[in-house]
Amino acid sequence: MAEKIKFPADKFKEHKFIMDYNSYVMGVHNYYRIATHVSQDFTEIGFPVKRTMKCRLGQRLKREGNTLPPFVQQMYGKSRQLRYIRGLFVLPVSYVQTRPPKHRPRDWCVYTPEGRAAVHKALEKVNIPILHYLMEHPVRNESIEYNDNRLVLYCALSVAGASCHGGRCRELTT
């Protein structure tokens, strides 16, 4: 991506490439921020990326630029690694903030007998024959990821006590 930013056809292409890079970095940070010790891994990845950006973009990288949008200010405002090209922010790869997973009960821990019992108790609500049917009959012409997400969605909705019909989900009243 640094190569595309280095030799843009015009400033509009450069803006697009920078925003593509920023959206990639934000997406990766958002996905991996619940992992343990992810900051150390991103530091190892961030150093070569920072060095490549510095070598290829050189004097175009500045420490000051336009004001940040509120969501970027909230997530990356405290970072001293934030750089700008022509006033547009370039997000640092190594600045990731970890967060605990949402909507996950604290007693779910696969390393203790009590935690495993809590997980198994929640999974008792899943209808196994329907789950087997979904596994044995994947949606054709769709990716493995799509079919895997279909299984996870079914299990999550079963555990939560919800039902989906025609794309609309509702809570089951039992």
pLDDT, tens digit, for every residue of 93-128? 999 888 877 766 777 777 788 888 887 887 788 888
Going by pLDDT thresholds of 50, 70 and 90, the confidence category of residue 162 is low
The model's pLDDT over 131-144, given as tens digits with 9 standing for 90+, comes to: 889 989 999 888 88
Instruction: Show the CA angle centred on residue 66, arms to residues 65 and 70, nearest 5°.
Output: 125
Amino acid at 31: Y
Going by pLDDT thresholds of 50, 70 and 90, the confidence category of residue 165 is low
CA-to-CA dists, residue 16 to 2, 8, 19, 23, angstroms:
12, 10, 5, 10
Going by pLDDT thresholds of 50, 70 and 90, the confidence category of residue 173 is very low
Closest CA to 151 of 173, 132, 123: 132
Torsion of CA 34, 40, 42, 43, to 10 degrees: 150
The rounded distance, in Å, linking the Cα atoms of 109 and 38 is 20
